[in-house]
Homo-oligomer: A and B are copies of this chain.
Amino acid sequence: MDSKTLIRFIFFTFFIALLLLLTLTNIPYPLSLSNGGALLECATNSRRCTIKQPPKPTTRRHTGDVPHHPLDPLTLTELNKVRSILLSHALFQNSNTYALHSIVLDEPEKAVVQEWSQGDALPPRKATVIARVNGETHVLTVDISTGVTTPVEVGKHSGYPTMTIEDMTSSTWAPLGNAEFNRTIMARGIDLNDLACLPISLGWFGKKEENRRLIKVQCYSMDGTANFYMRPIEGLTVVLDMDTKQVVEITDKGRNIPIPKADGTDYRFSAQNTKINNMVNPISIEQPKGPSFVIENGHIVKWANWEFHLKPDPRAGVVISRARVKDPNSGEIRNVMYKGFTSELFVPYMDPTDAWYFKTYMDAGEYGFGLQAMPLDPLNDCPRNAYYMDGVFAAGDGTPYVRENMVCVYESYAGDIGWRHSESPITGMEIREVRPKVTLVVRMAASVANYDYIVDWEFQMDGLIRVKVGLSGILMVKGTSYNNMNQVNQPENLYGTLLSENVVGVIHDHFITFYLDMDVDGPDNSFVKVNLKRETPSPGESPRLSYLKTVRNVAKTEKDAQVKLKLYDPSEYHIVNPSKKTRVGNPVGYKLVPGGTAASLLDIDDPPQKRGAFTNNQIWVTPYNKSEEWAGGLFTYQSHGDDTLAVWSERDRAIENKDIVMWYTLGFHHVPCQEDYPIMPTVSSSFDLKPVNFYESNPILNIPPHFEKDLPVCNAAVAA
């Protein structure tokens, strides 16, 4: 270490120690909130801090918000009220420290919401609060108008609440207060100013991960690139106590592994210099008369035959409620889905070694899928004419803040066909009838550190809802001493693909589990497996030896509805309303059309799979239960898997002709390839909720074709 570096090191260490001293005495949150902000401030002499821009608190446009609908999220004013109520509550008054991990609307009972109509008084507005006070987790209901606070009994389960943003941010700084850590970093030849660290949830593997909130921190060099993810300081793992920010353990098993090069890793437009390759002329979805949807009172989306409630949520990201569709025959608005959202993600990495085995993320329950959803980029994340909706969330101290442009809503037309028929040359009739397909998309994109998840809810006029998840962003990579595969004797033991010199993309899975509270024409529905079965005609009955017939199996209890998909024993999966039939007597229903199916292949007893046991099947159906919304359990962080969907389903409750919830998991196996370096082209997959004998006939029979006279007249942009 040369003397200049030494001086810098001493100065930097001193500064960090001072900063930590200041903050450790104050975190999680002092009752006097004015000091807490320091944690988010950057040191002024660090290059890292000139790049870092902590989220700017903003209240743009939301100070005057009032709720209009029983399901509207808490407004800025309401969040402030909740905070005041809590601050004057004995639990918080008598505590030294607390953190508010979640403040969201306590949704009224379903029946209340269903009976409510526009113009009625709102049911009492309540908040559900998840707080950590003096090391204990509390769940409270706060009645906003009366100020009454009631504890909620949630049962004894392992696990901690979703981290606060402040938990995550402060964890990335904390190791710098540890001299051994700093020495290790500098021993690798990395300037402390170039350090970028990530807070990595460590799952649960036994005693070591019990009885205190822990986190693992791993770091990267951001020297020469904004894409520090491609420059891992491999093998270095710091275990932190998340509450005290104390370093519990430092493991350093990667000293011989070089930091991969920065060259070619920066993906930003500004870093491409003259290399920009514009392969196509400008192209745009244009609607000269504007979009066809309206958003009433901030949250009710009305488009074509659809109507639904849309809101951002800190844990789920986006919540679609009361999706209803107009019947073209009766004109009636019919219920399809009471509530749908991303309940949990499970992302296990496939490397059993020390610095990797624990990477088995549950992005919603651990990090907050909505908390990580960043502002969308107009014209690129969503096309022109998109409408953007802000999220209003509470920080760890209860202060509300606005996540701008978190969700977008737009109409899409890709040139696809809604239905068509031409008469063929066989009949020679001159018929050519085609209807274009126009859809409505609701989108959010969550950046859980390196990875970006794009979640689309796409509504079609024919009644179909397509739920699509796109994966992009940046791989979580591993440093290696290899430069070329010809140096590798056992490629299987790389745990992934060599993507560039010294960079391995580690194999992993993504599972995204959706909560789908279907209410097809009312709450009481049944789950029917329509099995396609090979039948053999009796001898002489037919020249055929085989054909397929459908056998309907109505699921009586939860275990009947635990479904592993089978290519050679296929079924359709219907949610029907047994009390309502079509004119010709078919039960009205919607079917789940699976897609993007990759199953979890981990050992069912492996601790990560126990925690992610909601991926043991692709489909589950449970009776509606207000407290069963999060497939990995309410408290996912460091949970043992004792409160998952799999545990609930084993109760084997009755589900026939009941208010039921369907769960579906989209899965991806991801074996990285060089094309994913340094940033991944989007890979996406989807599943559908599709009407099946819900309508009497094709509901888009009467839509018109496109006519030239209706299409816009467009000119090239002036500046172009």
Contact = CB atoms under 8 A, between A and B. Distances in A.
Given A543-B357, A547-B602, A417 B472 contact: yes
18 contacts: A54-B425, A169-B426, A205-B544, A226-B431, A283-B438, A353-B542, A372-B424, A383-B436, A417-B454, A419-B472, A426-B449, A460-B681, A462-B681, A536-B603, A550-B671, A710-B717, A711-B717, A714-B714
B704 A709 contact: no
A586 interface: yes
A549 to B, nearest CB: 5
A637 to B, nearest CB: 15
B601 A568 contact: yes
B285 A285 contact: yes
Given A51-B429, A264-B697, 12 more contacts: A205-B544, A276-B702, A279-B305, A285-B285, A357-B543, A383-B436, A416-B470, A421-B452, A426-B449, A491-B552, A675-B694, A679-B701
Interface string A456-498: 0000111110000010111000000001111000011101011
B415 A441 contact: yes
A580 interface: no
Q: Among the interface residues A352, A552, A708, A719, which one has the most CB atoms of the partner chain B within 10 A?
A: A352
Contact of A292 (B279, B485, B597): B279
B698 A675 contact: yes
Contacts of A279: 292, 304-305, 461, 703
B419 A483 contact: no
A673 interface: yes
Given A292-B279, A675-B698, A705-B380, A712 B711 contact: no
Contact of A415 (B198, B272, B412): B412
A381 B705 CA distance: 10
Contacts of A605: 545
A486 B585 contact: yes
Given A445-B420, A676-B698, A428 B54 contact: yes
A570 B441 CA distance: 32
A711 B421 contact: no
A232 to B, nearest CB: 14
A254 B535 CA distance: 24
A380 B417 CA distance: 7
A498 B206 CA distance: 56
Contact of A669 (B286, B570, B705): B570
Nearest to A703: B277
Contacts of A349: 547
A441 to B, nearest CB: 6
Interface in A641-700: 669, 671, 673-682, 691-700
Interface in A273-289: 275-289
B380 A436 contact: yes
Contact of A584 (B278, B381, B485, B532): B485
Nearest to A488: B585
A711 B426 contact: no
Contacts of A411: 280, 283
Interface in A527-553: 530, 532, 534-537, 541-552
B278 A288 contact: no
A701 B272 contact: yes
Interface string A399-441: 0000000000011111111111111111111111111111001
Interface stretch (A138-146, A243-251, A559-567): A559-567
A536 B601 CA distance: 12
Interface stretch (A65-73, A499-507, A622-630): A499-507
A165 interface: yes
Contacts of A426: 165, 168-169, 172, 198-199, 367, 372, 449
A543 B549 CA distance: 48
A480 to B, nearest CB: 10
A561 B168 CA distance: 48
Contact of A601 (B383, B462, B534, B715): B534
A278 B681 contact: no
B549 A682 contact: no
A584 B484 contact: yes
Nearest to A551: B492
A55 interface: yes
A363 to B, nearest CB: 11
A180 interface: no
B454 A544 contact: no
A705 B500 contact: no
Contact of A548 (B350, B493, B535, B551): B350
A715 B712 CA distance: 5
A693 B381 contact: no
A546 B438 CA distance: 45
Contacts of A541: 352
A572 interface: yes
Contacts of A486: 585
B285 A289 contact: no
A447 B472 contact: no
A181 interface: no
Interface in A84-101: none
A498 B586 contact: yes
A499 B584 contact: yes
B288 A717 contact: yes
B441 A422 contact: no
Contacts of A422: 374-375, 377, 445, 447, 452
Nearest to A543: B205
Nearest to A371: B425
A393 to B, nearest CB: 10
Nearest to A483: B584
A281 B436 CA distance: 13
Contacts of A583: 484
A674 B327 CA distance: 14
A285 B282 contact: no
Nearest to A711: B284
Contact of A674 (B415, B419, B586): B586
Contact of A449 (B287, B427, B582): B427
A52 B677 CA distance: 58
Interface stretch (A8-16, A20-28, A153-161, A606-614): A606-614
Contact of A712 (B282, B599, B677): B282
A426 B317 CA distance: 16
Report the 9 A-B pairs with minimum CB-CB distance, sorted nearest first.
A485-B585, A414-B414, A352-B542, A380-B434, A279-B304, A546-B603, A374-B422, A205-B543, A545-B606
A111 interface: no
